[in-house]
Amino acid sequence: MKIDKDVITRVAVLARIDLTDDEKMEFSEQLSGIIGYVEKINELDTEKIIPSDHIGGVKNVLRNDTVGSTIGEGVLERMAPEFENGHIVVPRIIEGS
């Protein structure tokens, strides 16, 4: 399948990545090559095959609900790009005063 510039543009929106026109052209060409190659999997007869999203043996793991220490506000403040009065600051997301 050819991954044209429109597909790249649409996928980039989903991935929340801005791409320049040059990057879109480059990715379109490279991803078309990669997808063309990975389509080799269509040769596999998988009609009766169960998909493996893991190697198996994975089960829910529960832990006791005990009180423990957590990451302190000071640490969060040092990690956050912008921090004020105990809150991480982000651009306004609701219009109004």
Where do contacts with another protein occur on this chain (CB under 8 A)? 3, 7-8, 11-12, 14-19, 23, 27, 30-31, 33-35, 37-44, 46, 49-58, 60-61, 63, 71, 75-76, 78-82, 88, 90-93
Distance of closest approach, residue 8 Cβ to another protein, in angstroms: 7
Smallest distance from another protein to CB 30, Å? 6
Question: Residue 51 or 86: which CB sits closer to another protein?
Answer: 51
Using CB atoms within 10 A of its CB, is residue 22 exposed (0-12), middle (13-18) or buried (19+)? exposed
91 vs 96 by CB, closer to another protein: 91
Q: From its phi and psi, is residue 41 left (phi > 0), alpha (psi between -120 and 50) or beta?
A: alpha
Encoded tokens for 8:
């790249």
Q: How far is the CB of 2 from another protein (least distance, A)?
A: 12
Torsion sign, CA atoms 86, 91, 96, 97: positive
Angle between helices 21-38 and 5-14 (to 10 degrees): 100
**Nearest distance from residue 38's CB to another protein, in Å?**
4
